[in-house]
Amino acid sequence: MKTNTAGGAPARDLWRKLTAVVLFAGLASCGEARSADPERTVEQFIAAAHGGHAAEVYALLGPRSRKQLDERRQSAKRVSGRLALSPQDFLSVGRAPPAWEPSGARLLRKTDTEAQVQVHSATGDRYVLTLVREGRRWKLELPGT
């Protein structure tokens, strides 16, 4: 590689920037395949919950969980006499610090329609989440649904 000016620093910096752009473009092109992974769905869910993004959390929920939230919304309507709430209003995301901080996710089991992902913390806490396939994407089912 040719360099210009003393020490070649500008050429090296340009080379590093171009390499970063190429790597980023390559990763972005793999995004669709990666977003279909159950582990990636769990990571997106955790990030959305930590950020307090209820609409994103809701979009990552499976059909049973969405149905349960809608039933709660309908029940609130019957009690209050009006329907001013959305299913997302029944999610408590980003309002309190988590009991423990997840540090990673590992696929335990996967079939064509269902997957189980174990979320773990640096201190050894573990929690197993169930996901279901909805079209080409994986969706997370809340415990008890």
Q: Which residue has the higher pLDDT, 73 or 64?
A: 64
Burial 12-37 (b: 16+ CB within 10 A, else e): eeeeeeeeeeeeeeeeeeeeeeeeeb
* Least confident stretch, 99-103, 124-128, 129-133: 99-103
Do the Cβ atoms of 93 and 54 come closer than 8 Å? yes
Q: Which two tokens stand for residue 132?
A: 């279901």
- pTM of the shown model: 0.63
- pLDDT one-digit tens code per residue, 104-124: 899 999 999 999 999 998 888
- pLDDT one-digit tens code per residue, 5-37: 444 554 344 334 333 333 333 333 344 444 579
66-87: average pLDDT: 72
Percent of the chain with pLDDT over 70: 59
Class of the CATH-defined domain 37-141: alpha beta
Q: Where are the domains of the chain?
A: 37-141
Rounded Cα distance between 139 and 115, Å, is 10
